[in-house]
Chain A
Amino acid sequence: MDPLLQITRRHFLSRGSLGLGAVALSSLLPGCKPSGPQDLTATIQGMLGQTHRAPRAKRVIYLFQSGGPSQLELFDHKALLQKRWGEQLPPSVAKGQRVTEFTASQPKPMVGSYAGFQQHGQSGAWVSDLLPYTAKIADELCIIRSMYTDAINHDPALTFFQTGSQQSGRPSMGSWLSYGLGSDNSNLPAFCVLLSKGSGRAMAAQPLLARLWGSGFLSSQHQGVQFRSGKDPVLFINNPEGINLSSRRMMLNHLQQLNKRYGHKDGNPEIHARMVQYEMAYRMQSSVPEVTDLSDEPEHIFDLYGPEARIPGTYSANCLLARRLAERDVKFIQLYHQGWDQHNSLPDHLTKQCKDIDQPSAALVMDLKERGLLEDTLVIWGGEFGRTNYCQGKLTREDFGRDHHPYCFSMWMAGAGIKRGLQYGATDELGYNIVENPVHVHDFQATMLHLLGIDHERLTFKHQGRRYRLTDVHGKVVTDILT
């Protein structure tokens, strides 16, 4: 084997090296075992070494719907709300809970779904007519209708979902996993991020923040790597024009010789670690174009995901790309689809948003299942909060809007270790408060970690004097939804 591709455990542990930062070193020291050379192309270890329990899921695909999709039009069917159209929200239901500044001082006429609902599959799950493809896979899904969150506005709510805290600065879920579990693929990052724009509310969608896939106080090697449509699927991955693959290899060989000579004079293990990173970068130059090039997908796959799968950067193309990344054992694949913030023109915009995501989301689940990947891949669909059962702005028969609603909303999960065909939790008959099996964001996070074999209370990082974790000081695994 090329000596360049050898590395000792010491190197892995040392500052700036592949798998772990300096702080992880100190936390690992007591259990540190001497070991021989290790293949550099082997997978990168996480700080946990071994998971706390046998994992059900090996990877996660998180289809994040940014802006707050209306649960009342999609999964939480409320016949009574239809009947009481235009009536004011009773104070006994509102219970004086906080609402946003948008609607704090306006009347609150209730409004039912503009879309119809049917029961589907053997499970009889209620799914909106806006989501015909999702409805067809209802028996694969666990629909949670009793999600709730602490935050009522986008920036804090997104940050809360992704990092467990409303304040910025903590690591995102994917970074925690990269830190805890490492990578199963030495040619691709452990945490990949794909963005797409929604068709509804295109001119005033909620912004995203690059810090949502940041590593916070964890080493920056755990931050999410954004995969982009267009010429550069990963920033700076392409050689400049005029440098082809063989001249790049030739140059790297010379560079590595120079580094090696320097390394012989100096005992700094970082020199070696950096040489290793150049090799990883080189491998990514082949592995990333290979995974992002969808041209080898057969016709029936494009048919499955829908026509937009052929257009790079769409939600549909990203779903297909997510499957390809999952096939290559990327640990955490995070999609963000913008445009779900229907304060106004909800019927028009929401229809468009649903059209964006319905077929591709369902296709992804079925495609994974077909390939036997759904068994150990967890798929998650949902936004940062829900929407109010009353109208924001002017209510007409044709048009209305809904404000942010943190007290109940819906998500679905499917795949590894999740019960199929389950509708979990319930809201009151006006769809305002949870009446059964509430699931907090921290509970959801704890459950996700649990499926990955991690005890959420034991994946911690000491920073500024205290031990931090994704679930802060809360979170309970929702065992009811697990097989």
Chain B
Amino acid sequence: MKPIGITDIYYPLLFIGLALYQVACHPIASSETDQTQQSLPKEVDFNFHIRPILADRCYKCHGPDKNTREAGLRFDIEEGAFALLDTSENRYAIVPGNLKTSELVHRISSRDQEIMMPPPESNLSLSPFEIALLRRWIKQGAEWKSHWAFISPVNTELPEVSDPSWPRTTIDYFIMEQLDQLGWKPMPRENKAKLIRRLSFDVRGLPPSPDEIDAFLADTSPEGYEQLIDNMLASEAYGERMAVEWLDLARYGDTQGYHHDFERNMWPWRDWVIGAFNQNLPYDQFVSWQMAGDLMPDATYEHQLATAFNRNHKTTQECGVIDEEFRVEYVVDRTNTLGAAFLGLTLGCAQCHDHKYDPISQEEYYGLFAFFNQVPEKGKWQSFEGTAPPYLEIPKEKQQEIQAFIDRRLSIEYENQSIQDSAETYRWVWEEELSQLLQPIMVMADMDTLRPTHVLNRGVYDAKGKPVVATTPDAILPFSNEFAKNRLGLSKWLFSRDHPLTARVAVNRYWQMLFGRGIVSTPEDFGSQGALPSHPRLLDWLAIDFRESGWDLKHLMKQMLMSATYRQTATVHEQKWKLDPDNIFLSRGPQMRLSAEMIRDQALAISGLLVQQLGGPGVKPYQPADLWIEVSSGGRYQRKYMQGHGPDLYRRSMYTFWKRIQPPPAMMIFDAASRNNCTVKRQSTSTPMQAMVLLNDPQFIEASRVFAQRMVKEGGITARDRIKFGFRCATSRFPDVEDIDILDQLFQTGLAAFEKNPEEARLLLQTGESPMGSQVDPVELAAYTMVASTLINMVESIHKS
């Protein structure tokens, strides 16, 4: 086998993908075969053309899993693919250069149900194009290559590009190189108002204020943009924004997630994450602390706290369950999270049998499992609280903070009279809350005596097979003898210089965060069933640069944000859109819908309601009544949603209490992750429920009312000026005359309607607990509220550019 570097790989697949897309949707051209022949690449590449076909259609029966392998034939390794077929005399599946004698060609071309491959009962088939690819590959000599993701990244020379004045950072050379090959041009730079909006959401998760926009527009210095980036990266909101993505990955929740779903206290860990991002803790340490902080020499409170990462999984207290079954499930969860979050591999596939697509045996799976199998824990911890040992007690000074937090909160409730009457009741609630919030934090620890680990046959908790020791899959990177066989050694392995995956997987996720799509569009799967990188050399360059920078996340972010690629305008005509709907080639700027958190945070920010306060226990903003009761049990198992008041209603959405069996509905409707399992990519859908949330959720109605007050107060004297101000808050740009006309007409019509029926104006304005400004005429304010709600609902307002 000829090992190859990533430099050997090129990416004609994408061109074919595009060609196919056009072919498929415009079947006007001549005959199918001509079409197929025409779009075939001149040189077929194993990694980019052939392995994806073999993996997807053949590995199930001819892949790594020895137990389901048919006819002893395997296509996942070179020796297997070119081996003598044991079912027949002197025949081979693949004979390089020879179509006639290659059994594979015979089988995939046959229509005989007995012979054809894939067999009919598999419900899988090959398209004529795929068959032609396989044929051409064999004809061209059937060159075999290792899977790209398991070869360590290597740096390449900077590509030459058609317009050397365009690139701003190294990234741009790689992007332009491909645009050149397509004959495409990048889009011009985004206008400054839209650019600061994009930047602000990407770095802080919040919209820019009109003052910030003005300052940026006024700043004509060449360093203006860079300074803006630096300022935003230095803001505390940066840590919050970055943490949201991490909480999805770490399946963070405020309840245990199974059955009665009792509360647990993991928010001190969440606050540590925010702080770590803000202090720019190097990524290798950031991850290593979370993997093995407790095992580090002189482990501090924070080191131990970080390990709560691996205890964020769901836990149960259901009476009838078998303790060991669920204990095993927790270890499985940690192992699979390691796969999706750090290795970009679907390790879970190897829990019950050898992986069907990637070179991970079941034994190797349990080798990884063994690292996480040493926790002195129970699978079933019966208690009316959601936490289970091992614990980390909250330190004294933090306890005081928590007391102060509860005091603050309850005094607001007391004033609001939501807690009825006596000081005694107050005292009682105070103690309840305190005992809840002083629950210790669940963290990792290893037992003094190692728990023996076995392969679990079929993945069943008590079907113990062969004993295994802690180790990592060989095909990724052998586990060095120098590493301790514990989580600390595992984290050293993850950050070994030669590790092919850790850095790539990380930069790919952050790329996805900014550009909406990873360079590998399956961030959780870099294996043979995952997507191929659209810009393999860029991925490698980013990975190496990230590592060489000392795993400096802010540096990585800045590299991407400074690029000309990032700064392109996202506004393109339909024609251009159709050429590359997913913007794979990045010939335009990123265009994404805001996340669930950003949409709500923006409404709070532009209305002026947002309370920016870092960290603390989860809060309970408005939520439709009884949602918790509808799913929960009765009596002492019941949990009622006790909505907060005052600042609790207006904190950033990442602090909203996350109940896993009934997550906050407005957030779920906007595709927030359920936090049941590690999630590294959210969906972005468009549904009628989303329209209902933005139009009718009290949170958004109240924000509209307060936003309207602000428009009146700060927007000038005339309706048109106020509309202009509001429009700019919501979209970061000035409206044109026609935009204003439409909204002004809405305002006037609304005004007339509310004048006729002032009672409706009064009703509309009573939504929400925040006080009403007294200066404004209610009828006028109601009409502005309707305008404000419209602004919040505009498609443009819920997109980042």
Contact = CB atoms under 8 A, between A and B. Distances in A.
Interface residues of B, number: 109
Contacts of B322: 98, 100-101
B320 A152 contact: yes
Given A168-B677, A237-B692, A404-B320, 11 more contacts: A21-B685, A101-B319, A209-B261, A220-B669, A241-B766, A259-B794, A261-B742, A263-B795, A281-B695, A464-B340, A465-B527
Contact of A195 (B314, B630, B786): B630
Nearest to A104: B322
Interface in B514-573: 522, 524-525, 527-530, 570-573
Interface string A176-200: 0000000000000000000101000
Interface stretch (A247-255, A317-325, A353-361, A475-483): A247-255
B736 to A, nearest CB: 9
Contacts of A18: 686
Interface stretch (B95-103, B490-498, B602-610, B660-668): B660-668
B165 interface: no
A244 interface: yes
Interface string A273-286: 11101101110100
B491 to A, nearest CB: 24
Contact of A259 (B314, B529, B795): B795
A267 B576 contact: yes
A282 B749 CA distance: 20
Interface stretch (A228-236, A326-334, A376-384, A407-415): A228-236
B357 A268 contact: no
Contacts of A208: 630-631, 661
Contact of B529 (A15, A16, A265, A466): A466
Nearest to A196: B630
Contacts of A98: 322
A208 to B, nearest CB: 4
Most A Cβ at <10 Å: residue of B316, B318, B766: B318
Interface stretch (B448-456, B646-654, B756-764): B756-764
Contacts of A270: 593, 686, 795
A235 B683 contact: no
Contacts of B770: none
B25 to A, nearest CB: 5
A154 B259 contact: yes
A267 B665 contact: no
A207 B796 contact: no
B764 A236 contact: no
A266 interface: yes
Contact of B686 (A17, A33, A236, A241): A17
Contact of A211 (B570, B572, B676, B796): B676
Nearest to B696: A236
A247 B570 CA distance: 34
Contact of A269 (B571, B577, B698): B577
Interface residues of A, number: 93
B632 interface: yes
14 contacts: A155-B316, A235-B692, A241-B766, A248-B695, A251-B789, A258-B794, A259-B796, A266-B571, A268-B577, A271-B795, A277-B691, A464-B340, A465-B349, A465-B358
Interface string B655-697: 0000001110110110100101100000111111111110111
A419 B664 CA distance: 43
Interface string A134-154: 000000000000000000111
A203 interface: yes
Contact of A237 (B571, B696, B789): B696
A410 to B, nearest CB: 20
B321 interface: yes
Interface stretch (B270-278, B298-306, B633-641): B633-641
A242 B676 contact: no
A169 interface: yes
A210 interface: yes
Given A153-B321, A258-B742, A267-B574, A236 B676 contact: no
A30 B127 contact: yes
Contacts of A454: none
A270 B683 CA distance: 14
B25 A265 contact: no
B163 interface: no
A219 B637 CA distance: 32
A208 B340 CA distance: 28
Contacts of B258: 155
Contacts of A230: 626
B761 A242 contact: yes
Interface string B753-785: 100000011111111000000000000001000
B297 interface: no
A228 B625 CA distance: 11
B686 A277 contact: yes
A202 B637 CA distance: 11
Most B C-beta atoms less than 10 A away, residue of A207, A220, A274: A207
Contact of B26 (A34, A234, A242, A263): A34
Contact of A205 (B321, B634, B765): B634
Nearest to B637: A204
Nearest to B677: A169
B671 A258 contact: no
A210 B743 contact: no
Nearest to B576: A267
A153 B316 CA distance: 11
B572 A243 contact: no
A274 B686 CA distance: 6
Contacts of A167: 329
A457 interface: yes
Nearest to B124: A467
Interface in B571-585: 571-578, 581-582
A29 B21 contact: yes
B776 to A, nearest CB: 15
Contact of A255 (B572, B683, B766, B794): B794
A4 interface: no
A262 B796 contact: yes
Nearest to A238: B696
B793 interface: yes
B794 A466 contact: no
Given A32-B25, A259-B795, A274-B795, A220 B581 contact: no
A277 B669 CA distance: 13
Contact of A207 (B259, B687, B763): B259
A209 B631 contact: yes
A206 interface: yes
B790 A15 contact: no
Nearest to A102: B320
B260 interface: yes
A255 B790 contact: yes
Contacts of B260: 207
B634 A220 contact: no
B24 interface: yes
A202 B574 CA distance: 58
Contacts of A457: 123
Given A214-B674, A281-B688, A219 B357 contact: no
A58 B127 CA distance: 32
> What 8 A-B pairs are tightest by C-beta distance, nearest first?
A242-B764, A465-B529, A267-B577, A100-B320, A203-B635, A267-B574, A242-B763, A281-B691
